[in-house]
Amino acid sequence: MSEAHAACLVRGIQKMKATGAGVVARDPGRDEAYFNYEAHLMNEVGADVGARMHTGRSHNYIMATLHRLRGRKVLVNVIDALSKVRTTALEQAEKYADAVMPEYIHLHPAQPMTYGFCLAGVAQALEQDSQRLIGTLKSMNVCPLGAAAFAGTPFGIDRKRTADLLGFDDYVDNALDAVASRNFLLESISGMSLLAILRSRGAQDYYVWTTHEFGLIELPDSVATTSNNMPQKNNP
């Protein structure tokens, strides 16, 4: 591709980005949004130039790449949030290191512990979830670009360069695996499910501790409500 054609494509893409996706006409006959964007670009810069953007490309690896980019963004945000929550849990664990409370088994008092000990356990579980998601992020953050439909392309695509430009750690070696595998999505769902179980467990503990029978904590009004018939109630 000549520099002139490349510059024309860049200007067309930048214009599309500035005007937003809403201006792109959606033709159901073009199957998916991507093909409508491509048609819109060709209308803007001319078919001869616009069609060159698809040189060496395939819809198969484009979708595989988008899935990894979107999944990566979600995982990075979750991992960052977990780090902040874990830091807070450790700070509170130190603060309440001497706050003695009973621990229950099957809702019966079993042994004494401290609230700080409980929070330290939560922090450790959050660290395990974080490491699990970091491992998933590592396997996800490899680039399918250059794989074409499933067996590569004769065009001289610099796969390392395209991977670097999109922030990937590397590219997927095997072209077939690059477009066919979605294991990273299943790994993400699995990790998120385990994280949800941890959050559910913590929520259940606090729910029980707020009851009149246990009376260990009292929730502030910001996370509690009352009954329109029984104003003495403080429902989490």
Residues taking part in catalysis:
106, 227
Residue length of the chain = 236
CB atoms within 10 A of CB 150: 15
Let me know: does 119 contact 89? Beta carbons within 8 Å.
yes
Helix axes 59-95, 115-140, angle to 10 degrees: 160
CA nearest to 116, candidates 137, 101, 133: 101
Distances (CA, A) of 129 to 77, 102, 175, 209: 14, 27, 31, 25
CA distance 40 to 36: 6
Residues ≥6 apart with Cβ < 8 Å to 221:
none
- The SS3 assignment for 36 reads helix
Least Cα distance to 146 among 128, 129, 160 occurs for 160
